[in-house]
Structure 1
Amino acid sequence: MTLIDMMQNVLESSGLLPLWHLIAPWLALDERQLIFVFATPVFIAVAFWEYLRIRHDPRLMDTREAIRNFALGAGYQVTELLFAGIIAFPLYAFCYHHRLFDLELNAFTAFGTFLGVDFCFYWMHRASHRMRWFWAAHVVHHSSERMNFSTAMRQNATNIFNGMWIFYLPLALIGFNPVWIGVAYAFSLVYQFFIHTTLVGRLPGWLEQVFNTPSHHRVHHGRNPGYIDRNYGGTLILWDRLFGTFVDEDAQDPPRYGITRPVRSNNLIVLWTHEYVDLFRDMARPGGLWSRLKHLWKPPEWERPASMDENSPHERTHSEY
């Protein structure tokens, strides 16, 4: 019996599988999606434990925001469950059909899948900060001014439509089974949930050298000038060290969380869409088609000059976005 068979048996005995078939009869739950379904109660339990520890400190916890974060996460999971199979899967199937190598699942290829997914996550995450189209979806995750486990659930329901999953397609083309890719990705996100906290300090040195830790990820969520666009790693921090994006947490400069242009709204739709609105508003400004399209792949802080002179672009500093 496979992992997905066991998970589906549990869902069926609990009465949840018929409900799923009622909601989305054209889709079958895959391993990646089932991992998220079963991990969510664990996330809620751990977040509640943390809540009891920090609920009296408004700098660390706001009850209404924590509930809102889980609502944002629920929206993300619903769109992933409903649309991943009909948007992303056909392209993964196409790449895997034309794969370069036939790879059997063994200890070596399992480790290769983990390493490949983590490498692709680094570049996907880096692009999510440095290309505005991807930032439009990712920004909601960074817009909270608190760092706790509920922040990990603060995701955008538009992610599946935004296309960040394309960064993993080369793995299927190489010959890694899309199911393996999905499972490795799911476990990576489960791991990353547990690094969204202020309750865990620095870990032993070798762990801090190799793995993404709460200390490293607090830096990533900081809006301090020296922390912006750093520590993109998923499970491993090795890629940041290799590609020059690593910064250590400085006790003299503790992270200040959030984005430098805060969103003054608690409306879920606004939180999901505000950066898209700003992006398309900027693209609608007069100018040539090419100059307008540049907003899609330029960094979030990039602006076209008022004179529309593309040969002398003006760029905002990080502190201005």
Structure 2
Amino acid sequence: MEIPEIPNLIHYAIPVFVITVIIEAILTVKIKLDEYEFKDAFTSISMGLGNVAIGLLTKGVTLALFIWLYQFRLITIPFTWWAWFILLFAEDFVYYWNHRIAHESRLFWASHIVHHSSQKYNLSTALRQTWTGSFYTFIFWLPLIIIGFHPVMVLVQMSISLLYQYWIHTELITKLPNWFEAIFNTPSHHRVHHATNPQYLDRNHAGIFIIWDKLFGTFEPEVEKPIYGLVKNIETYNPVKVAFMEWYHMLKDVFSSKTSVAKKILYLLKPPGWRHDGTGILSTDLRKKWEQKQKREQ
């Protein structure tokens, strides 16, 4: 099968990103939702540009690996409308689990934390992307290649998913029609995902479709006003620190903890906040405390 040219969707969208970020900043200041934090936005945009630059290398490597693996596919799925329709849901299902595990395993959180490090929530936050994740998170999409989806199809659909998720990073849109909120990921759903309120922690991992969160028990509706950022914020606008700080802390825990090799490895596999001596604070613990508080107040 001849390999068609891959459209560089993210690169084509960059001018749109820039224009919409500027428009949102003007509207935010004008209607006084909150004072727009330009330093924070600059950090997010810097992270996004770095992600695009690194992606020029990693996407080439990923495509080469996908093409090599494609020879071992179970079936050959053609470039047809129904194949793209199936892939829309299949890729989104894979994204859900990739995103969920990024919150449940510190090795993947070390990259994903970048996206959650802003204490603001606007379109520039969508551009705050990892510089390291593309080197290894592609493994979640390998099953799609083995099933028989062409590598080009998978990479294009991955880009479409990222483009969809851009517009949901805003506070200017409150709620959309009920039918849309029931099926699709929306600004309201994704504000919950970025929030540190105990009841919102590690919820709404959806890419395009919120149905996966509802099916697998990770859905939480937006009720109280979200508080954005991390449970413990990093307090820096330095893009290099934002990109690598969690890697530093994670590896420091691995090599400096006085425990067995097996438990050292668990610092990579266990959720963020886990410690071998039980002194860590996990997001699940915070959520349980909130649930217990809710029961006492009922």
Question: What is the TM-score normalised by the length of structure 1?
Answer: 0.84
Partner of 2:282 in structure 1? 317
SS, match of residue 302 in structure 1: coil
Alignment of 1:232-271 (within 5 A): 232-250=205-223, 253-271=224-242
**Cα deviations across residues 175-221 of structure 1 (Å, max 9, x unaligned)?**
00110011111011101000000000110000000000000000000
- Deviating 4+ runs (over 6 angstroms): none
TM-superposed CA distance for 1:234, in Å, is 0.3
Q: C-alpha displacement at 1:73, in angstroms?
A: 0.3
**Corresponding residue for residue 164 of structure 2:** 191
| Alpha-carbon separation, structure 1, partners of 2:209 and 2:33 | 31
Instruction: Give the aligned partner of residue 221 of structure 1.
Output: 194
Residue in structure 1 matched with residue 289 of structure 2 by the alignment = none
Matching residue's letter, 1:63 = F
Q: In the alignment, residue 96 of structure 2 is paired with which amino acid? A: Y
Task: Identify the residue that residue 297 of structure 1 maps to in structure 2.
Answer: 269
Asked if residue 287 in structure 1 is aligned to residue 252 in structure 2, the reply is: no
Q: Shift of residue 239 of structure 1?
A: 0.2
**3-state secondary structure, aligned to 2:199:** coil
Aligned residues: 282
Measured against aligned partners, the alpha-carbon deviations of 1:99-140 in whole angstroms (never above 9, x if no partner) come to: 000111212111111111100000000011110011000101
Higher relative contact order, chain-length normalized (CA < 8 Å, sep 6+): 2
Matched letter for residue 226 of structure 1:
Q
Q: Which amino acid aligns with 1:95?
A: L
Structure 1 equivalent of residue 58 of structure 2: 83
Match of 2:36 in 1: 61
Structure 1 position 317, deviation (Å): 3.4
8 Å CA contact 1:59–1:146 kept in 2: the answer is no
State the distance in 2 between where 1:136 and 1:59 align: 29
CA distance in 1, matches of 2:37, 2:108: 28
Partner of 1:140: 114
Asked whether the 8 Å contact 1:100–1:173 carries over to 2, the reply is: yes
Which residue type is aligned with residue 113 of structure 2?
V
- The answer to whether the 8 A contact 2:272-2:282 is kept is no
Report the TM-score when normalising by structure 2: 0.90
Query: Which residue of structure 1 aligns with residue 86 of structure 2?
Result: 112
2-side partners of 1:242 and 1:173: how far apart?
A: 25
2:47 aligned to 63, 72, 75, which one? 72
Following TM superposition, by how much is the alpha carbon of 1:59 offset from its aligned partner in structure 2, in angstroms? 3.7
> What is the distance in 1 between the residues matched to 2:230 and 2:33?
18
Distance 1:316 1:224 in 2: 14
Matches within 5 A, 1:157-196: 157-161=131-135, 163-196=136-169
Letter in 2 for 1:179: V
Letter in 2 for 1:66: A
Tell me which residue corresponds to 1:101: 75
The amino acid of 1:270's aligned partner reads K
Q: CA deviation at 1:260?
A: 1.0
Whether the 8 Å CA contact 2:43–2:238 is kept in 1: the answer is: no
Q: Which runs of 5+ in 2 are unaligned?
A: 287-298
Contact preservation (8 Å) 1:60, 1:146: no
Unaligned runs of 5+ in 1: 6-29, 306-312
Q: CA contact under 8 A between 1:231 and 1:245: conserved in structure 2?
A: yes
Given that 1:60 and 1:147 are in contact with CA atoms closer than 8 Å, whether structure 2 keeps it comes out as no
What corresponds to 1:212 in structure 2? 185
1:197 partner letter? T
Q: Give the superposition deviation at 1:60.
A: 5.2
SS at match of 1:197: coil
Is residue 243 of structure 2 the alignment partner of residue 272 of structure 1? yes
Q: C-alpha separation between the residues in 1 aligned to 2:238 and 2:33? A: 20
Tell me the residue number matched to 2:124: 150
The sequence identity of aligned pairs, in percent, is: 36
Give the corresponding residue for 2:296.
none
Shift of 1:158: 1.1
Q: CA RMSD in A?
A: 1.9
Letter in 1 for 2:243: W
Q: Which residue matches 2:101?
A: 127
